[in-house]
């Protein structure tokens, strides 16, 4: 079942036969106007970057607007489904956040991995084909 998206975000996840109409790179470039400390990889189906924790609230708000509420919030233990979904992309731990959006042929996941220095967070966003 496809989840719903707030009306103002329909350009990102417009339902057209259950398909995404924007790539992950386009989503990042057009809808995330926040500081990026390091770009490790930004492509149509994979994003890996580092952002400063001083903006963590703004990043969470942006991803809540795009994906809806996190399916696994920081501080909550991941369940087996979360672990299975993220296994090939570094996994998910108790102190990390997981967002997810399902489509007919793929699932988009976004993970926030805070660093131990409490200064930075890694973002991984992946298009997982079914």
User: How far is residue 122's CA from residue 16's CA, in Å, rounded to a whole number?
Assistant: 31
Q: pLDDT tens-digit profile of 59-81?
A: 999 999 888 999 999 999 999 99
More confident residue, 117 or 104: 117
Q: What is the 3-state secondary structure (H, E, C) of the chain?
A: CCCCCCHHHHHHHCCECCECCCCHHHHHHHHCCCCCCEEEEECCCEEEEEEEHHHHHHHHHHHHHHHCCCCECCCCCCCHHHHHHHHHHCCCCCCCEEEEEECCCEEEEEEEEECCCCCEEEEEEEEEEC
Q: How is the chain split into domains, by residue range?
A: 7-129
What's the pTM? 0.83
Q: Tell me: pLDDT of 21 over 90.
A: no
Q: pLDDT tens-digit profile of 85-111?
A: 999 999 999 999 999 998 878 899 999
């Amino acid at each position: 079942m496809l989840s719903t998206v707030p009306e103002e975000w329909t350009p990102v996840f417009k339902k057209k036969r259950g398909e995404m109409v924007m790539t992950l790179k386009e989503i990042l470039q057009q809808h995330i106007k926040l500081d990026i400390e390091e770009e490790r990889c930004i492509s149509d189906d994979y994003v890996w970057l580092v952002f400063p924790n001083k903006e963590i609230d703004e990043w969470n708000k942006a991803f809540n607007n795009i994906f809806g509420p996190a399916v696994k919030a920081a501080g909550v233990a991941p369940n087996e489904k979360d672990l299975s979904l993220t296994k090939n992309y570094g996994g998910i731990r108790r102190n990390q956040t997981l967002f997810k959006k399902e489509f007919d042929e793929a699932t988009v996941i976004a993970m926030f991995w805070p660093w131990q220095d409490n200064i930075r967070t890694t973002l991984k966003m992946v298009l997982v084909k079914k």
